[in-house]
Amino acid sequence: MKETHVFCVAGHLFTVKGELPDGTENLAPFRVTETEAEEQLFTLELVNSIPLSPVTPVYQTDDGPGFPEICIEQYGNGDYRFRVRPLPGRPVAGEFRTSPDFTQAQLFLCGQDDSFALNNTLMLLFAFSSAGKGLLEMHASVVMNGGKGYLFLGKSGTGKSTHSRLWLQNIPGTQLLNDDNPILRLMPDGSARVYGSPWSGKTPCYKAQDVPAGAVVRIRQAPFNKIERLPVVQAYASLMASASGFRPFHRLADGWHRTLEGLAGSLPCFVLDCLPDRDAALLCHATVTKNG
């Protein structure tokens, strides 16, 4: 019988069956005791091969050098096949087959970059299987301060992690929750919470913690420091630009849209034009804690 590992992320369970590869210690803080009675988002089984069958191309990422590559294809019965590479031109690290609702999947690890393949498979399955449940995987850095979480959004290289570090250095009581892929959740009462996840980019910060979300701030580089709150429509666009998801899956896109719409209407969203300095962090903190 294969090993069974159950994890809880953002209040939702998923299972991995099989021996976990080296380099997946990031999952350990999220491990829980198996509970048959609780509904799970998905089950992923590690297998020795994925049977070859005819497929139709669906989507392929094209983010350029330095970014992972994901290829999506579909079988005749509706199942999907994903192939993931750590970088364009590198060998495929893993390929997995999943049911159309992303609740049952099998992953073949190709023997290179196994931890990358497993973690990216889990991130994709989590995003897709939770699309209608009020959850969003965000490309963001998030800090905790005063009992709330503050998410910093922006394109890669904009300064999200730098701004988090400025809060850590200059604002007492600040802690890092996650530096790349926190989970933002729209709660049944319309409030928002932010959760740590097993996925945190290059910064090893894997905390199974959560706090109410205080505000979302989009970081933009500028030769000055200025912050302003966004109206709802612009807040929606800002959140959407940093939320994980493949829009070609229209059914899933509808779920993400409902979550984004709810969050944009209830969660304060700002844009911060800033220098990478102490004054920017102090301005941001004073504004979001006052208005959030």
CATH code of domain 135-291: 3.90.228.20
**What pLDDT does residue 155 have?**
86
Q: CA dist 56 to 76, 78, 219, Å? A: 8, 10, 39
What number is the average pLDDT over the span 114-124?
97
* Rounded Cα–Cα distance for residues 175 and 146 (Å): 10
Q: What is the pLDDT of residues 148-173, one digit of tens each?
A: 999 999 988 889 999 999 999 999 99
Q: Is the pLDDT of residue 37 over 60?
A: no
* Rounded Cα–Cα distance for residues 106 and 114 (Å): 14
Q: How confident is the model at residue 292 (pLDDT cuts 50, 70, 90)?
A: low
Beta bridge partners, 216, equal 151, 269
Q: Is the pLDDT of residue 107 over 80?
A: yes
* Rounded Cα–Cα distance for residues 82 and 61 (Å): 11
Lowest average pLDDT, out of 51-65, 95-109, 204-218, 222-236, goes to 51-65
**What pLDDT does residue 18 have?**
97
Lowest average pLDDT, out of 180-184, 200-204, 269-273, goes to 200-204
- Cβ atoms of 192 and 266 closer than 8 Å: yes
What number is the average pLDDT over the span 206-219?
98
Q: What is the pLDDT of residues 215-253, one digit of tens each?
A: 999 999 999 999 999 999 999 999 999 998 776 788 888
What ranges do the domains of the chain cover? 4-129, 135-291
* Rounded Cα–Cα distance for residues 132 and 249 (Å): 12
* Rounded Cα–Cα distance for residues 292 and 289 (Å): 5
